[in-house]
Structure 1
Amino acid sequence: MEKIREQILLTLETNSRIDLKELAVLLGTDEATVANEVADMEKEHIICGYHTLIDWDRAGAEEVNALIEVRVTPQRDQGFDRVAERICNYPEVSAVYLISGGYDLLVTIEGKTLQEISRFVSGKLSPIEEVISTATYFILKKYKDHGTILEKKTKGERMLITP
């Protein structure tokens, strides 16, 4: 990968709202070069989207997140891709990962209540023919998400003990 592309990606990964002119100055190049590289990487699906990280607890919104491990029967000539694509199409699903270990897929979903997520698992995910079993874990609190610490510790939280 070209050095300029790598630098653009590293910067956008931590600050997707950066002005292209400012990014060009940081990288020691012109704005047109940066804009063209970004546009090319979007067309090539290297840059797949831009997201805002929101602390929904602080926003006062009711939201429940869950991680669901899914064990599936891989399909001939397609492996896990077909069932993963099917799961990706549900609007409740935030992410689907192929993983190693005792399960095959890790699915993250969002809902308004624990019951809503439970109904998704029992009514939509479990009935898929290739799904053998699932294990659901509700996220109770997020400390860090997408590399961002959500709750800053205050200084002096621990007492200093001296002899």
Structure 2
Amino acid sequence: MITAIILINAERTKVNEVAERLADMPEISEVFSVSGNYDVVAVARVAYNDALAELVTNCLQKIEGIEQTNTMLAFKAYSRHDLEAMFSLGGTED
């Protein structure tokens, strides 16, 4: 499995639309609107390099509002937190 982090600059008025379109894509596992130099961060997980190339150079190009992307490949995961469990509402009261 190949994991890529895609940093995205979007038109100011289309950030939400871009994020929603990305979230609907099967190759994209997570999408975040962020502060800083980028507007949206997407985490892509694909089986092959060719699938990532297709995603970045063809599929993302068709999303209206994306102005620029910067794609980083993840080499190794150092944390395997279960985010759903980490943010669950089943906490205990003191």
* Structure 1 segments (4+ residues) deviating >4 Å: none
1:92 is the counterpart of 2:22: no
Larger radius of gyration: 1
Q: Which has the higher contact order (CA 8 A, sep 6+)?
A: 2
Return the match for 1:111 from 21, 24, 46: 46
Mapped partners of 1:145, 1:102: distance in 2: 26
**Structure 1: distance between partners of 2:12 and 2:80:** 31
Partner residue of 2:16 out of 51, 75, 81: 81
Unaligned stretches of 5+ in structure 2? 83-94
Distance in 2 (CA, whole Å) between partners of 1:87 and 1:74 is 16
Assess if the C-alpha contact under 8 Å between 1:71 and 1:133 holds in 2: yes
Equivalenced residues, count: 83
Tell me which of 10, 14, 17 is aligned to 1:72: 10
Higher strand residue share: 2
Question: Following TM superposition, by how much is the alpha carbon of 1:146 offset from its aligned partner in structure 2, in angstroms?
Answer: 2.0
CA contact (8 A) 1:73 1:132 kept: yes
Q: RMSD of the TM alignment (CA)?
A: 1.7
Q: Which runs of 5+ in 1 are unaligned?
A: 1-62, 148-163
SS in 2 for 1:134: strand
TM (norm. structure 1) is 0.48
Partner SS, residue 137 of structure 1 = strand
Give the aligned partner of residue 140 of structure 1: 75
Matched, 1:130 2:68: no
1:136 alignment partner, SS class = strand
What secondary structure does 1:144 align onto? Answer: coil
